[in-house]
């Protein structure tokens, strides 16, 4: 509807922004937009410019925090979310550790030592931020980021095999349709390798009969893909929730066993995953203390994305962030 009760949408938005939302009043009283972080020239120590810190609420800081990034419009923001309450404690237009530390220490001077656990991805900037900013916290590498690298390695193997088949297009296979056993279908290996791209990312117990039949054929044809799949499933089983709180020495030994298997597989993509795991070994193992992940942070990212979609993007960034703070912090 272009009009509601004879009111133009632009008029309604203007009234909401200027009078109903409290935005102008808070700006005038200095309660909104006053929080900034300084960008400093490392050579001269001079403040070059300021960046916005739309949200910095010490009451939302807690013992368990998550750190993640989010693109809002064309700008990248760092978000710190309270794992237990799901509320945003800190939102800043930066991904640089030094800038974020300066702002967080300025606005949460008495809260940083209370954080006991913080989860983040494997980005060097966020790892440095968590290590320097939360001295009493255990850093937990987010489980889903590790699994993401694992699945990408598996897909890389599948794609390489598919490229090999493209260079040998004469390969064909007969497959019986499960709907009608008398009906014969001709599938090339290229088509089968494309069809299985989503199936192969799921656990074997989740396959239906037709998917199982397809994967059994593909694995017989390409043992290397089965080896990659088995490696993937072994690490995902290692990450199973039933192991949370279990013997950490046992979890560590099993992870070393997986790294040995990845090395012996001679699959380059999995050797790369092995190097990532060995580099972040201690922080990955910390997952089994309490099972902390970035799920709340990813959920918050999803809410912000829906908020963006419902508002058809960003017309006024500052007012959008004002509303974001009101809804999610």
Give the model confidence (pLDDT) of 275-314 as tens digits: 999 999 999 999 999 888 888 778 888 888 888 887 777 7
| Contact (Cβ atoms closer than 8 angstroms) between residue 165 and residue 188 | yes
For Cα atoms 116, 119, 124, give the angle at the middle one, nearest 5 degrees: 115
Which has the higher per-residue pLDDT, 178 or 108? 108
What integer best gives the mean pLDDT of the chain? Answer: 86
Q: What are phi and psi of 188, to 5 degrees?
A: -80, 160
Average pLDDT over every residue of 42-64: 83
- The pTM of this model reads 0.83
Residues whose CB falls within 8 Å of the CB of residue 220, separated by 6 or more in sequence, listed in order: none
Strands (E) located in the chain: 36-40, 47-52, 55-56, 64-72, 75-82, 88-92, 117-120, 138-141, 172-176, 184-188
State whether the Cα torsion 149-150-155-161 is positive or negative. Answer: positive
The per-residue pLDDT for 113 is 92
The per-residue pLDDT for 245 is 86
Cα separation, 197 vs 162, in Å, equals: 11
Residues whose CB falls within 8 Å of the CB of residue 138, separated by 6 or more in sequence, listed in order: 116, 117, 118, 286, 289
Q: How many whole angstroms from its chain centre is CA 79?
A: 12
Range with the lowest mean pLDDT among 42-56, 153-167, 252-266? 42-56
**Looking at the predicted structure, is the pLDDT value of residue 153 above 50?**
yes
Cβ atoms < 10 Å from Cβ of 196: 20
| Contact (Cβ atoms closer than 8 angstroms) between residue 76 and residue 93 | yes
SS3 category, 29 = coil
Average pLDDT over every residue of 260-270: 93
Confidence band (pLDDT; 50, 70, 90) for 178? very low
């Amino acid at each position: 509807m272009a009009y509601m009760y004879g009111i133009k949408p632009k008029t309604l938005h203007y009234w909401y922004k200027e009078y109903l939302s409290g935005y102008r009043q808070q700006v005038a009283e200095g309660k909104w937009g006053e929080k900034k972080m300084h960008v400093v020239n490392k050579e001269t120590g001079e403040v070059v410019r300021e960046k916005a810190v739309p949200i910095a609420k010490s009451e939302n800081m807690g013992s368990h925090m998550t750190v993640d990034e989010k693109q809002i419009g064309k700008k990248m923001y760092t978000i710190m979310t309270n794992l237990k309450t799901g509320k945003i404690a800190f939102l800043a237009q930066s991904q640089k550790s030094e800038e974020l530390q300066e702002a967080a220490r300025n606005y949460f001077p008495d809260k940083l030592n209370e954080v006991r656990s913080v989860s983040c991805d494997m980005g060097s900037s966020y790892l440095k931020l968590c290590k320097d900013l939360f001295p009493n916290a255990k850093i937990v590498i987010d489980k889903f980021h590790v699994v993401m690298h694992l699945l990408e390695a598996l897909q890389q193997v599948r794609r390489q095999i598919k490229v090999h088949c493209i260079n040998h297009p004469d390969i064909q296979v007969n497959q019986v349709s499960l709907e009608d056993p008398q009906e014969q279908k001709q599938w090339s290996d290229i088509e089968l390798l494309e069809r299985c791209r989503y199936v192969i990312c799921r656990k074997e117990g989740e396959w239906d009969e037709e998917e199982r039949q397809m994967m059994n054929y593909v694995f017989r044809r390409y043992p290397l893909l089965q080896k990659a799949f088995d490696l993937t499933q072994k690490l995902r089983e290692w990450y199973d929730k039933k192991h949370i709180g279990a013997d950490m020495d046992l979890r560590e030994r099993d992870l070393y066993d997986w790294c040995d298997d990845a090395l012996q597989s001679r699959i380059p993509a999995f050797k790369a995953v092995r190097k990532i795991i060995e580099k972040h070994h201690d922080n990955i193992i910390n997952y089994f203390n309490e099972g902390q992940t970035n799920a709340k942070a990813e959920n918050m990212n999803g809410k912000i994305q829906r908020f963006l979609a419902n508002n058809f993007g960003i017309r006024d960034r500052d007012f959008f962030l004002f509303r974001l703070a009101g809804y999610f912090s």
